[in-house]
Chain A
Amino acid sequence: MKYWRTPLDIDKLKIPRGELHIIKERCKGCGFCVEYCPKDVLELSDEFNSKGYHPPVAARPENCVNCDLCEMLCPDFAIYCTRVEDEKEVAR
């Protein structure tokens, strides 16, 4: 992430990290989470669930910042995010 100026409290800032939980059997493969993930974490997988849809998979799980956008957009209550304690330092 780029800043237009360096924040004064950059030493104290931490990037939160999240862990994704995907409930594959509930997914209907709409792709909302894949399209609107701001950190581009998700991808539609090649595997099928029992309904014949392709559930998403966390292709770049280390990028997840626990923004909860996928959880709020998912129409099938099939994905959610939990906060992981180990936070990353903000890169200058």
Chain B
Amino acid sequence: MSAKQVKDTAQEIKEHPMEGLLRMDRMPHIWCSTCGLGTTVTALATAINQLGLDTNKMAVVSGIGCTGRVAGYLKLDSFHTTHGRALPFALGLHISRPDMKVIVFSGDGDLISIGGNHFIHTARRNVDITVICVNNFIYAMTGGQVAPTTPVTAKSSTTPYGCYEHPFNLPRLAASSGATYVARWTALHIRRMTNSFKEAIAKPGFSFVEVIAPCSTLYARLNRLGTGLDLMKFYHDNSVIKHGIEPKDADIDFQSKIVVGKFIDIEKPTYIECLNDANKHVFGDKYKPYGGSDGSY
């Protein structure tokens, strides 16, 4: 590329409105063409911008995988943990700095399979963190192995004749473990997803948002579903919005209707509130409460 062309390209690149929240020195990102992850990151950045939160008091934690790269691309305090351990790290971060908003942004293989036990126990304790789980039905970064969310009969590189295991229903798992906010959207529902992220971040307690995103290179290719754009068209035609239904009715079968919406939104004392109540009961007035929304600790 000649010097003049380089100058022209530099002049062409102007300020994108998301650039304040993204580490632009790391762009272009590693995600494939027609992957839904970039759209989900845009929705989260828009939600943070619209809430007007202090970005110095926010942290993003990810595990390993395609979605695990998000922590490296957002210009917030971020940590890229080992595989499946995003939630224990986030729990420790939240307890040591209760004034910070902690967002866990990770994939289905990381959060639900390898970190499955951490997931149910963080939800059980109702720790005040927001979990965004991007579900692409497969272990995408490692070559398309079967995941605990792969629907029955869907092909993956380790189940070439079709998956025969029963998949997890993530909203049901989160709700039955004790989450106070559970929603599911696809990568196409950008405005509803942004609103859901805003509600989840503002919600005290364990909030869980599942985002169904297309994986063009592995899931769509192995199952002959076309490109990510074809999957987006499939979401457009086959998503059914049903707010407030029982999460057990939100199962996903292979290429079936996808039930989306806000399923659970309840009030429950959070982990730090329970800790303070229990210690106040034992120690009485000698106990100085820990944490709190004003950041005093």
Residue among B16, B227, B228 having the largest count of chain A Cβ atoms under 10 Å: B16
Q: Which residues of A contact B (CB under 8 A)?
A: 21, 23-26, 28-32, 35-36, 50-51, 53, 69, 71-78, 80
Complex CA gap A77/B69 in Å reads: 16
Please name 25 pairs of A and B residues whose Cβ atoms are closer than 8 Å in the assembled complex, sorted by A: A23-B12, A23-B13, A24-B12, A25-B13, A28-B32, A28-B34, A30-B34, A35-B233, A36-B232, A50-B1, A53-B33, A69-B190, A71-B17, A71-B42, A72-B42, A72-B43, A72-B191, A73-B188, A74-B42, A75-B39, A76-B28, A77-B18, A77-B22, A77-B27, A80-B16
A91 and B17 alpha carbons, distance in the complex (Å)? 31
Q: Which residue of A lies closest to B34 (CB)?
A: A30
Q: What CA separation (Å) do A75 and B35 show in the bound complex?
A: 7
Question: Which single member of B12, B35, B190 contacts A73 (CB below 8 Å)?
Answer: B190
Q: Does any Cβ of A come within 8 Å of B88's Cβ?
A: no
What 13 new A-B contacts, CB under 8 Å, besides A26-B28, A53-B33, A69-B190?
A26-B27, A28-B28, A28-B34, A30-B227, A35-B233, A51-B28, A73-B42, A73-B188, A74-B38, A74-B39, A74-B42, A75-B35, A75-B39
Within 8 Å of chain A (Cβ to Cβ): is B36? yes
Q: What residues of A have a CB within 8 angstroms of the CB of B35 in the complex?
A: 75
The reply to whether the CB of B14 lies closer than 8 angstroms to some CB of chain A is yes
Asked whether B142 is an interface residue with its Cβ less than 8 Å from the other chain, the reply is no
The residues of B that contact A69 with a CB separation of less than 8 Å are 190
**Residues of A with C-beta under 8 A to B133:** none
| Least CB separation from B28: chain A residue | A26
Minimum C-beta distance from A79 to chain B (A): 8
B46 at the interface (CB under 8 A from A): yes
Separation in Å of the A15 CB from the closest CB of chain B? 20
Judge whether B222 is part of the interface by a CB distance below 8 angstroms: no
Within the complex, which residue of B1, B37, B46, B191 is in contact with A75, where a contact is CB–CB below 8 Å?
Answer: B37
Name the CB-closest residue of A to B193.
A72
Q: List, in ascending order, chain A residues with CB within 8 A of B42's CB.
A: 71-75, 77
Partner of A29, one of B29, B33, B188: B33
B17 & A75 in contact (Cβ 8 Å cutoff)? no
Residues of chain A within 8 A of B34, CB atoms compared: 28, 30-32, 75
Residues A75 and B16 in contact, CB atoms below 8 Å apart: no
Q: Contact check, B190 vs A80: say whether CB atoms are below 8 A apart.
A: no
Specify which chain B residues have a CB less than 8 angstroms from the CB of A74 in the assembled complex. 38-39, 42
* Cα-based distance from A51 to B228 in the complex (angstroms): 19
B39 touches A73 (CB 8 A): yes
**Do B38 and A75 touch across chains, with their CB atoms under 8 A apart?**
yes
Asked if A75 and B31 make an inter-chain contact with CB atoms under 8 angstroms apart, the answer reads: yes
Select B17's contact among A31, A50, A80, beta carbons within 8 Å.
A80
Minimum CB distance partner of B17 in chain A: A80
- Say yes or no: is B229 at the interface (Cβ < 8 Å to chain A): yes
